[in-house]
Structure 1
Amino acid sequence: MFDEMLQMRPLPSVVRFNQIMGQVAKLKPYSAVVALYNRMSMSGIRPDVYSLTIIINCLCRLNTLINGLSVLGKFFKLGFEPNVATFNTLINGFLLHNREAEAIGLFAKMMEIGNCNPDVVTFGTLIKGLCRKGNNGAAIQLLRKMEEGACKPDIVVYSTIIDSLCKDTLAVDAVNLFAEMTSKGIAPDVMTYTSLLHGVCKVGEWKQARRLLNDMVITYNMLMGGYCLRGEMDEAKEVFDLMLSKGSMVGRIHDAQNLLSQMQGCGQLPDVQTFNVLLDDLCKNQQFPKAMELLREMKHKKLDLTIVSYSILIEGMCIAGKIEDARKLFCGLLSKGLQLDVRNTIIRGFFNNNEMSRAMVLIQEMVDRDFSADASTMELIVDLLSAEEGQVVYEKRNTTTTMERQRWCLQHLEIASGAPLT
């Protein structure tokens, strides 16, 4: 399309070219955007403020900040005044190159000249850069400056500082800022809760963590309920998936299942990845009857069950010591022709359950079928050998394959036991 536009007579306005460059820049091939801009300029199309701002952004992200700054000269040459978006781009460029002092200096210049006041993006960009460097004090000072002026802080600004405070184990300060934010009517989002929850857990504030977790579940319910009422099902699913991906429902299976039912009641069927996360949580909490029930529900809904789904369940059973149940499920899947290799998981389960002979039988089966043990399983096998034999295996690691070392171990274990392992 860009080439076609350059061939048109008369040439399209710069706005059309800006739209294309802006879209390409979002995909992050910044050097391609610079090339498009150069072709546009060579064709005699005069850039505007937006064009030049796009190029400054691309040059800064290509680690050529000095070239980005040189574009400012074009502003004045063409009689343009940089706008707030231009300043925001330059501030971000300075921060990307760890030049915080110059970023702050440019911000101060904006405040000084008065005709290009910082907006919420300016403050947010600078606060994010300061927090990234652990300069929470300067970030909070900027927050106070926002509160004093016409540009009020939003949830993104507060969440950025709260997250930074939590990462620096300043949970008390984070909780106080959180309380201040909510008292001003700014509702926390999922990211705010997640940051704060991790922060208070890190310093052992378990009561505070439980209160936050309860509030978080209420927030999820309200968000999902609102999206469902408006028929915005994709957004409802996004909230649900975000909740699961952040581990916010660990140990709260009942709440997670209620939210899942709420989604389904609104006509939104979660995908297999969503079900897998729930399945994993059930297994980690050793709620295997509910996990099997969920698996049946997935089949009933004709979801395309993946190897991941079955692997989660088998691994959960092994960890809980339900090795026989795991083995039966595994054998049943093999009989149905499903190619699922969780032998390493089951072998480790046998080892952990002190069922060495059964573990060795399965290892022999792996050898017969040319499957290799993984690193952790191989370590368990080597532990069964004498110290001298273990040293031999260690010395062979650079000259033999895992399969060859595995066979060697089995032969010596068979010799030691005086009987075949199968």
Structure 2
Amino acid sequence: MQPTASIDTFNHILGSMVKHKLYLDVCLMHRKMNFVGIGPDLYTLNILINCCCHLNNLYCGFGVFGEILKRGFEPDSVTVGTLVKGMCMVGEVMNAVKLFDKMSEKGVEGEVFTYGILINGLCKSRETGLALELHRKMLKRNGKANVLTYSMIIESLCKGGLINEALEMFSDMKRVKIAPDVVVYSSLINGFCKLGRMMEAMNVFNEMADQGISANVITYNYLIHGFFQLDFCKEATKIFNHMLGQGISPNVVTFTILIDCLCKKGKIREAHELFELMIQLGKEPSIYTYNSLIYGLCMSGQLDEAEKVFKLIGDNGGEHNIITFNMLINGYCKHQMIENALWLFKEMHRKGLKPTTVTYNTLVGALFKIGRVRTAKKLFKEMQVCGLSPDLHSYSVIFAGLCKNGHIKEAIDLFESVKSIELESSIEIFSILIDGMCRAGNLGEARKQFDELSKKGLVPDVVAYNTMINGLCKNGMVSEGYELVLQMEEKGCSPDSISFNIIVRAFLKENEINKAMDIFGEMRKRNLLPDEGVTSMMLHLALVDEQWRLTLQSLPNICHSKTYSVPR
């Protein structure tokens, strides 16, 4: 009979299998070992817990933990660390902290590695406060810390906008002679960039260089994005060129940041050229890159080019996501290409993608805009049948669409049937309904609803006031409209250019030229400009009235006044 190999030999074999990620095979071998009477030691069982965790079978892992206790072994720091790691892997971070604390009370002191796992898990769960507390506990218990634990907490603090707390940690790590690395510096730079504090971000960047630490592509990406967000295109370009000068190749994220920012600034040609360069350099665009370019092309009305980019995604083996579809649908709707939008909506279904509330809101709004009320209402109902709850914007779209198409009663009935706290606390929704009532000539009910806003705990904003003022003026109650302008000022809501344009236009139509001139003078004092319609009426009057001609001559650049959207 051959002698049985020692447990140490088996442990060595099991360890090698783990290195090759043969987790299930390790579990099977342990079962065979038990079958032939080879009892495991603590080392064996720790290996087995690790395998269970990698197989996402935490239940099995705790079963092995029970076997450790049953066999009379004392769990050590490796046991606890392995279980904690497994729990964090499946999102059981808070339970992992409880287990860790419980084992610490029993004298099983965690290693720096275990603290690091927990701190990382807490940071990813946005529990930065608990991560800080655990870090302090670690320093108190064993006095050890490393750059990794500091790095994780600083990164989490910066992502949460807690830059001052991050700087305290940064100072603390330097105090205990732990040298910050590129990850720490990059996290601080990102934190400052998110807050728009670019001078401080550059100070950190320069300090990093002074310490002999080379920035990586991630560091540069943070700075480029930060400068672009503040519209500092020249500075962003300088950083990009500096990166190239350091021999650092831009990655997909770099190109995506540049393309996205250029598109949002309306520089579509430059964005498209950069996209072509990216492909020439062999960088595979991500779906975010494609989406950024499609967004820019749609916003600039280049729907044909947007369609080409949309097709290119599939040609290059990529997968369109819901955002891709929503952007192109929105582009079609904005340019009255509703049939194309509806076709794409059906195509979305064919590809197995579920439309979102945004998809439905866009289509419903566009259909109402061209008077296809029946189809719009059908889609609104379909959205709810599909399990999507209308949000506040959904109701804004349906109420505005019904009101503008003359279905005022239906809009009010729908509002009454919903009786949502969110709706009843929305000044925007009431403004839409009041506008609808005014359009229908139901001025009494509109004024009643407006006057009752304060009883509902709502404070009318400038849009609500303008809606009511416009309704009064449209119905020949110009003096009452002007009184409301004065009233809104008394209640702390400053009239804007739209408020004054409504009143001036109304008085001009009533041939109340002196009143219109007085109000216009008040507009000038407030540096508010007349809109295109009012300017046109004034120019016409100037042809027949010398006083108006002299007034117009005194106005700076009146013929080039900014056009404002005024309720009609």
| TM range, smaller chain | 0.5 to 0.7
For each residue in 1:157-206, what CA deviation from the matched residue of structure 2 results, as whole angstroms up to 9, or x when unmatched? 11111111222222232223223333223232222223223333444444
Letter in 1 for 2:170: Y
For 2:407, which of 305, 320, 339 is the aligned residue?
320
Cα distance change, pair 248–320 in 1 and its aligned pair in 2 (3 A): closer
Q: How does 1:115-194 map to 2 (within 5 A)?
A: 116-194=248-326
Matched residue, 2:353: 223
Q: Distance in 2 between matches of 1:111 and 1:328?
A: 58
For 2:228, which of 87, 95, 101 is the aligned residue?
95
- TM-score, normalised relative to structure 1: 0.62
Cα distance change, pair 47–204 in 1 and its aligned pair in 2 (3 A): same
Question: How far does residue 51 in structure 1 lie from its aligned partner after superposition?
Answer: 0.5
Cα distance change, pair 244–12 in 1 and its aligned pair in 2 (3 A): farther
Is this contact kept in 2: 1:6–1:40, CA < 8 A? no
Letter in 2 for 1:137: R
Q: How does 1:200-279 map to 2 (within 5 A)?
A: 200-219=332-351, 222-224=352-354, 240-244=356-360, 246-247=362-363, 251=375, 261=385, 273-274=389-390
Q: How does 1:359-378 map to 2 (within 5 A)?
A: 359=445, 363=448, 375=465, 376-377=467-468
For each residue in 1:240-288, what CA deviation from the matched residue of structure 2 results, as whole angstroms up to 9, or x when unmatched? 344345557864665666665555xxxxxx5xx44877777777777xx
Is this contact kept in 2: 1:6–1:43, CA < 8 A? no
Most deviating of 82-91 and 97-106: 97-106
Identity percentage of aligned residues: 19
Letter in 2 for 1:187: E
Question: Considering only CA atoms, is the larger Rg found in Structure 1 or Structure 2?
Answer: 2
Cα distance change, pair 245–28 in 1 and its aligned pair in 2 (3 A): farther
Is this contact kept in 1: 2:364–2:377, CA < 8 A? no
Q: Distance in 2 between matches of 1:7 and 1:21?
A: 19
Q: How does 1:275-290 map to 2 (within 5 A)?
A: none
Question: How far does residue 151 in structure 1 lie from its aligned partner after superposition?
Answer: 2.3
For each residue in 1:390-419, what CA deviation from the matched residue of structure 2 results, as whole angstroms up to 9, or x when unmatched? 4884686379889xxxxxxxxxxxxxxxxx
For each residue in 1:126-146, what CA deviation from the matched residue of structure 2 results, as whole angstroms up to 9, or x when unmatched? 222222332222222221222
Q: How does 1:392-411 map to 2 (within 5 A)?
A: 393=483, 397=487
Matched residue, 2:23: none
Matched residue, 1:303: none
Question: How far does residue 378 in structure 1 lie from its aligned partner after superposition?
Answer: 6.8
Q: Distance in 1 between matches of 2:488 and 2:183?
A: 58
Cα distance change, pair 255–110 in 1 and its aligned pair in 2 (3 A): same
Question: How far does residue 16 in structure 1 lie from its aligned partner after superposition?
Answer: 1.1
Question: How far does residue 117 in structure 1 lie from its aligned partner after superposition?
Answer: 2.7
Letter in 2 for 1:52: Y
Is this contact kept in 1: 2:158–2:188, CA < 8 A? no
Is this contact kept in 2: 1:30–1:61, CA < 8 A? no
Is this contact kept in 2: 1:326–1:346, CA < 8 A? no
Is this contact kept in 2: 1:217–1:255, CA < 8 A? no
> Is residue 24 of structure 1 aligned with residue 157 of structure 2?
yes
RMSD after superposition = 4.7
Q: Distance in 2 between matches of 1:282 and 1:62?
A: 37
For 1:107, which of 216, 230, 240 is the aligned residue?
240
Secondary structure, aligned partner of 2:143: coil
| Greater relative contact order (CA < 8 Å, ≥ 6 in sequence) | 1
Cα distance change, pair 339–16 in 1 and its aligned pair in 2 (3 A): closer
Is this contact kept in 2: 1:136–1:164, CA < 8 A? yes
Is this contact kept in 2: 1:323–1:349, CA < 8 A? no
- TM-score, normalised relative to structure 2: 0.48
Matched residue, 1:56: 189
Matched residue, 1:69: 202
Question: How far does residue 121 in structure 1 lie from its aligned partner after superposition?
Answer: 1.1
Question: How far does residue 124 in structure 1 lie from its aligned partner after superposition?
Answer: 1.1
Letter in 2 for 1:216: M
Is this contact kept in 2: 1:213–1:248, CA < 8 A? no
Is this contact kept in 2: 1:53–1:85, CA < 8 A? yes
Is this contact kept in 2: 1:347–1:363, CA < 8 A? no
Q: Distance in 1 between matches of 2:237 and 2:433?
A: 57
Q: Distance in 2 between matches of 1:44 and 1:61?
A: 28
